[in-house]
Amino acid sequence: MSLLSLLVAVAWTAVTVATGPPLRDPPSVPARTLDVPILMYHRIGPLPQVSGPYSAGLTVRPRVFAAQMRWLHAHGFHAISQRQLFGALEWGRPLPSRPVLITFDDGYRDVLFNAAPVLRRLHMPATAYVITGRVSGPDPSFLTWRDLRDLERDGFTIGSHTVHHLDLTTLSAAQAWLELKQSRQTLQKHLGVDVPWFAYPAGAEDAAVVRLARQAGYLLAVTTQPGAAQSASEPLLLHRYEVLRGEGVAGLASLLHSVS
């Protein structure tokens, strides 16, 4: 990257991160619903050679991902940050036309190498929800703490995906609380920023888990329920569209066909 390109990228990232109101809930719950599709990716890379917990179905090839992002850009979609979504949903801040939030679950390292450069070139922010128990661990498939800081410089927001990626609805309240609170505290300690963004492992949630997530300090949380209508009265139950291996550009366009 040239010095000029680096300076532009740093300036863009600073503006993106700084945009938005203070990170606190409004004094009263607004009656507001916004159409903001949230895209859920996992791995961006070659298909795994061995089937297992990191299924090939969750892997989007780099050239397909790049084509999807170019399609979004060419069709007038504007990628937004967590702060922008929070500010619009809870505080009524304006959003660009055709907003979309791009997210990646689990914290796979190929997001840094295969997704971040594409997004940086197109000036599209994104969010990585990471499993803190796997950061800088023995499995090289997952991001390190240095990688996460690199992602932040590329315009990513880092969110929590718990410590161990357990189904929170099957845990005791005390166990679920530790998964929610410790992951947030660990991210904040290592990254030096507030982390009020969360993704439920496997999308599993219920009223008790949502209540614990709120108590742990999360302001926005995403599920795996499809849809683009996001309600200010349920900021911890945001909908997402999962983007899988076989969907390509046509599949992405189909997911977004009803979003004006």
Residue with tokens 């992405």: 252
The domain that holds 124 is classified in CATH as: 3.20.20.370
Judged against a pLDDT cut of 70, whether residue 79 lies above it is answered with yes
Q: 130 lies in a domain?
A: yes
Q: 194 lies in a domain?
A: yes
pLDDT at 51: 57
List, for residues 86-115, the tens digit of each pLDDT value: 999 999 999 999 999 999 999 999 999 999
Q: 89 lies in a domain?
A: yes
Residue 245 binned pLDDT confidence (cut-offs 50, 70, 90): confident
Q: 237 lies in a domain?
A: yes
Residue 151 near residue 143, CB atoms below 8 Å: yes
The answer to whether the Cα torsion of 247, 48, 67, 65 is positive or negative is positive
Token output for 115: 């997704």
Query: What amino acid occupies position 218?
Result: Y
Q: 28 lies in a domain?
A: no
Query: What amino acid occupies position 17?
Result: V
**In the predicted model, what is the mean pLDDT of the chain?**
90
Judged against a pLDDT cut of 60, whether residue 143 lies above it is answered with yes
- For the chain, the domain total comes to 1
Q: 7 lies in a domain?
A: no
Q: How far apart are the C-alpha atoms of 255 and 250, rounded to whole Å? A: 9
Domain, as residue range, for 153: 33-48+55-255
Mean pLDDT across the stretch 13-21? 43
Q: At what angle do helices 145-153 and 3-18 cross, to 10 degrees?
A: 90
Q: 9 lies in a domain?
A: no
List, for residues 146-170, the tens digit of each pLDDT value: 999 999 999 999 999 999 999 999 9
Residues in the chain: 260
pLDDT at 61: 95
Q: Rounded to two decimals, what is the model's pTM?
A: 0.89
Q: How far apart are the C-alpha atoms of 115 and 70, rounded to whole Å? A: 12
Judged against a pLDDT cut of 90, whether residue 53 lies above it is answered with no
Choice among 18-32, 93-107, 114-128 with the minimum mean pLDDT: 18-32
Closest CA to 155 of 1, 18, 39, 40: 18
Bridge partners of residue 101, in order along the sequence: 38
Residue 76 near residue 90, CB atoms below 8 Å: no
Q: 191 lies in a domain?
A: yes
Q: CB-based contacts of 63: which residues, under 8 Å, 6+ apart?
A: none
pLDDT at 19: 43
Token output for 121: 């070139």
Angle made by CA atoms 257, 114, 151, in degrees to the nearest 5: 95
Choice among 3-17, 201-215, 243-257 with the minimum mean pLDDT: 3-17
Instruction: Using DSSP, state whether 32 is helix, strand or coil.
Output: coil
